Amino acid sequence: MRREQTTGSFNCSGYAQGVAQVLQLKESDLGRYLHGTGLPRDVLYAGSEVHMDVDDFLRVIENAKQMVDDPEVGLRCGQNLQRSVHGPIGFLSMNAPDLFSALMTPAQFAPLRLPLLDTRLSFDADWLNCEMQVRAGLPEDTQRILLEAFALTLQANVEAYLGAPLTQGNFTFAYPRPAHHASYPHYFHIPVSFEGTSHVLRLPAEMAREAKPDQDPQAYAAAHQLCTELLNRIPDTSLDIDNRIRRLLLSHSIGAMTEDDVSRALFISKRTLARRLAARGQSYRQLRETLLAELSARYLTEDRLSVDATANLLGYHDAANFRRAFRRWHQMTPTEFRDRLST
């Protein structure tokens, strides 16, 4: 029998999916991973209507700790979850007017939101302090795993906004120096210290307040609206594999998401993924190209989004490559497409 939820209706499935991918779980492992939750394995698939509450998530974290003996699991999870800052959702942060605003981007657009963790921002004379808070009463090693992962997602958000590795600032954690502390420099790009009074990322205040010179308020507003529409365009009740893949691609950078990435996210082999898509008359390439074509047309109906911004949203670092792809999809250039819309 499913036990009553005790910590609210927050959906923590995204984090559980990320941890399972880091552990490289297979379909046969999912029962053990979800042991004690009463949840079906569908909760770990993108597009599932099944939600995981906080207690369930903590249960799978305890299960994960028993399944693997890896002190760096929190760091590896954080590195994996960095992908969430890219794609349409990350476009919001990257186009905020300043770094402080980027860190305050509304959390409803983050697919991996978790109410166990929170960030409080404050300025002092020289620093922007991003204090990371974790719910009290958790086992110390669970707190550390969550904080390691959370800190790395913060670092990734800042770097996505800056468009460069973070070289200024520092992290301080309140927990004691862990046995695997020598691995931290492989994950964190700025100095890290331990046994502080709080868990905090400190960034130079001048950096945080500096206006982004190429920030486009209209593009930011358009992206905000589009994110809402895109993440809602696939119904939660759709559990077929092609719609699971579509939701995955909408939540990540489509250009960076490979077929191997998708198969790992679904806990199956690349061959199994291809076989299941073929049974529905699809292939990964066809599905990805169709989605890119749909999104490119949808974005270009927005006058507030430039062609370069549209290319960015779709994961193209070179707008010329996007223009060539657009011509292949629609048999016309982006400019010709917009000209037809205006006639």
| Whole-number pLDDT of residue 174 | 96
- Pair of tokens at residue 51: 């939600």
The answer, yes or no, to whether residue 146 has pLDDT greater than 60, is yes
Coil, helix or strand at residue 208: helix
- Stretch (H or E) spanning 336: helix 334-342
- According to DSSP, residue 170 is labeled E
Contacts of 210 (CB under 8 A, 6+ apart): 98, 99
Integer-rounded Cα radius of gyration of the chain: 21
Distance CA 205, CA 98 (A): 11
The residue to which tokens 């270009």 are assigned: 300
pLDDT in tens, 37-78: 999 988 887 656 577 788 888 999 999 988 988 899 999 988
Query: CB-based burial of residue 176 (10 Å sphere; 0-12 exposed, 13-18 middle, 19+ buried)?
Result: exposed
Give the model's pLDDT for residue 265. 80
Give dist(CA 25, CA 341) in Å, integer: 47
Distance of CA 223 to the CA centre of its chain: 16
What is the predicted pLDDT for the residue at 34? 95
Of 10-24, 29-43, 88-102, 225-239, the least confident = 225-239
Short-list 291, 287, 293, CA closest to 337: 293
Asked if 90 and 224 touch (Cβ cutoff 8 Å), the reply is no
Task: Give the pLDDT score at 224.
Answer: 59
Segment 166-171 mean pLDDT: 96
Residue found by looking up tokens 């927050």 in the block: 10
Q: Are strands 192-193 and 170-172 parallel, antiparallel or unpaired?
A: parallel
Q: 341 pLDDT band (50/70/90 cuts)? A: low
State residue 141's pLDDT score: 92
| Joined tokens for residue 184 | 């931290």
Q: For residues 6 and 25, what is the distance between their CA atoms, to the nearest angstrom? A: 28
Question: For residue 6, what pLDDT band results from cuts at 50, 70 and 90?
Answer: very low
Rounded CA separation 72/183 (Å): 8
pLDDT tens digits for range 173-212: 999 999 999 999 999 999 999 999 999 999 999 998 887 7
Angle at which helix 140-162 crosses helix 73-81, to 10 degrees, equals 30
User: What are residue 170's DSSP bridge partners?
Assistant: 202
Q: How many percent of the chain have pLDDT more than 70?
A: 77
Q: Can you give the pLDDT at residue 90?
A: 59
Does residue 199 contact residue 172 with C-beta atoms inside 8 Å? yes
Tokens linked to 156: 């990734």
Where is 199: in which H helix or E strand?
strand 199-204
- Mean pLDDT over 159-182 rounds to 93
- Are 316 and 325 in contact by the 8 Å Cβ rule? The answer is yes
**Residue 22 tokens, joined:** 């880091």
What torsion do the CA atoms of 35, 41, 42, 43 make, to the nearest 10 degrees? 30
**Taking the model in full, what pTM does it have?**
0.65
Lowest mean pLDDT among 221-225, 248-252, 308-312, 323-327: 221-225
Q: How confident is the model at residue 148 (pLDDT cuts 50, 70, 90)?
A: very high
Give Cα separations from 131 to 162, 256, 326 (angstroms): 20, 30, 43
∠ CA 156-162-166, nearest 5°, is 60
Give the whole-angstrom CA distance, residue 227 versus residue 87.
10
Give the residue with greater pLDDT, 226 vs 75.
75
Mean pLDDT, the chain, as a whole number? 79
**Which percentage of the chain shows pLDDT scores above 90?**
25
Interatomic CA distance for residues 101 and 119, integer angstroms: 13
Do the bridges between strand 199-204 and strand 170-172 make them parallel or antiparallel, or are there none, so unpaired?
A: antiparallel
